[in-house]
A = this chain, B = another copy of it.
Amino acid sequence: MSPNLSGLSRRTVLSALATLPTFFGAMLPLSASAQTATPGSPLPSWNEGAAKQAILDFVRVTTDRASPSYVSLEERIAVFDQDGTLWVEHPMYSQVVYCLDRVPAVVAKQPKLKNVEPFKTVLSGNREAMSKLTMPDLEKILAATLTGMTVEEFNAEVNKWLETAQHPRWKRPYTELIYQPMLEVMRYLRDNGYKTYIVTGGGQDFVRVYAERVYGIPPEQVVGSMGGTKLGYNKGRKPFLTKEPKLLLNDDHAGKPEGIHLMIGRRPYAAFGNSIGDQQMLEWTAAGAGARLEMLVLHDDATREYAYGPAAGLPDSKFGTFTQALYDEAKKNGWSVISMKNDWKRIFAFE
């Protein structure tokens, strides 16, 4: 397992640990999808402004047959980063919470791990000690919790976790902490013939478990950090696939255009991100001919969500950073910066 699986840096993981009240997930029922019908206007949760207008203009010029920027139906591809672009990434990436939450179950199956690091420290719940875990320690946790089981077992484990885990601030399932305005953009693009893809540094198989239900995005349209699988047969000659600790692609930074080429084989016309991990994906999108849409979500709303990163005039974040340089590149190239505070009427469906 690569140190970069899921695009996680050690700093990201460890400094986030200190802020997380609990990671063993209280028992809460999983609410239904946050997706609701869109009455009238296609983007009801968006305030009028340059960001909303950029989306409407892009769809108009690429779908009107009389437009010089018309894009044929099969070429209409839109890609979305996930963490911080489609759902909350604070105070810790949900997938990391998942991996830590899985440690007790892994140890229950292999009891001798109980006194072996890093599992011993994770089991202790001592966040001060956990913040001192090394990168190889974290790799062991990722490998132990994300690989070694069949793909069906993994799906079942993630589904079970999603039903019970909750975000420490909102006390709600992570799958409710989806940005409603982004759901509306995805639906609007699909209504106009665009195929919507998630392109995430997170694990491809992890995101696939809930992407269809939560985002309306089928598993074949989830591009993420990819691990290998290995075919085996049980005693009845029935084949099964086991998740292997072998990283095929780290789908972050340069890995995003590489992953897009691998999984889609076409250059997107629209790309949405929120950090330097998405920069190359937006550049790759922008380098195509014709009308293209590049948008960056700026986390500048400490009241309703979070505010972080230099582009919001705030200290460097432990998350994929929206740097001043990225902000300048966006402005220079005509990319849109979405202010969560100013552009979004509401952030979550439950508001």
Within the assembled complex, what's the spacing in Å between the Cα atoms of A229 and B264?
A: 13
Return the contact of A229 from the options B151, B228, B239, B261 (Cβ within 8 A): B261
CB-CB under 8 A from A284, the residues of chain B are 231, 239, 241
Asked if A205 lies at the interface with its beta carbon under 8 angstroms from chain B, I say yes
CB-CB under 8 A from A228, the residues of chain B are 249, 258, 262
Of residues 219 to 260 in A, which have CB atoms within 8 Å of B's CB atoms? 219-220, 222, 226, 228-231, 237-239, 241, 248-249, 254, 257-258
Asked if A283 lies at the interface with its beta carbon under 8 angstroms from chain B, I say yes
Asked if A305 lies at the interface with its beta carbon under 8 angstroms from chain B, I say no
| Interface pair A261/B220, CB less than 8 Å apart | no
Within the assembled complex, what's the spacing in Å between the Cα atoms of A238 and B283?
A: 8
Do A208 and B265 contact each other (CB < 8 Å), given the known contacts A249-B248, A257-B239?
yes
| Mask of A264-293 contacts with B, CB within 8 angstroms, 1/0 | 111000000000000010011001000000
CB-CB under 8 A from A239, the residues of chain B are 257, 280, 283-284, 287
| Interface pair B219/A266, CB less than 8 Å apart | yes
CB-CB under 8 A from A50, the residues of chain B are none
Do A220 and B265 contact each other (CB < 8 Å), given the known contacts A239-B284, A248-B248, A287-B238?
yes
| Interface pair B262/A219, CB less than 8 Å apart | no
| Interface pair B241/A258, CB less than 8 Å apart | yes
| Interface pair A248/B219, CB less than 8 Å apart | no
| Mask of A325-351 contacts with B, CB within 8 angstroms, 1/0 | 000000000000000000000000000
Asked if A157 lies at the interface with its beta carbon under 8 angstroms from chain B, I say no
Of residues 188 to 218 in A, which have CB atoms within 8 Å of B's CB atoms? 195, 204-205, 208, 212, 218
| Interface pair B262/A226, CB less than 8 Å apart | yes
Question: Which of A230, A262, A264, A283: most chain B Cβ within 10 A?
Answer: A262
- The size class of the interface chain A forms with chain B is 35 or more
Within the assembled complex, what's the spacing in Å between the Cα atoms of A121 and B262?
A: 33
Return the contact of A261 from the options B241, B254, B266, B280 (Cβ within 8 A): B241
| Interface pair B238/A258, CB less than 8 Å apart | no
Within the assembled complex, what's the spacing in Å between the Cα atoms of A170 and B19?
A: 70
Within the assembled complex, what's the spacing in Å between the Cα atoms of A257 and B231?
A: 7
**Chain B, residue nearest A209 (CB):** B265
Do A151 and B261 contact each other (CB < 8 Å), given the known contacts A231-B254, A248-B249?
yes
CB-CB under 8 A from A219, the residues of chain B are 264-266
Q: Which 8 A-B pairs have the closest CB atoms?
A: A219-B265, A231-B254, A220-B264, A229-B258, A239-B283, A208-B265, A248-B248, A239-B284
What are 25 A-B residue pairs whose CB atoms fall within 8 Å in the complex? A74-B212, A74-B218, A195-B220, A204-B262, A205-B265, A218-B266, A219-B265, A219-B266, A220-B220, A220-B263, A226-B262, A228-B249, A229-B258, A231-B257, A231-B258, A231-B280, A237-B283, A238-B287, A239-B280, A239-B283, A239-B284, A241-B257, A241-B284, A248-B248, A263-B263
Task: Contacts A74-B218, A229-B258, A231-B280 known; list 15 others, CB within 8 Å.
Answer: A74-B212, A204-B265, A205-B265, A220-B220, A220-B264, A220-B265, A220-B266, A229-B261, A230-B254, A231-B254, A237-B283, A239-B257, A239-B284, A248-B248, A248-B262
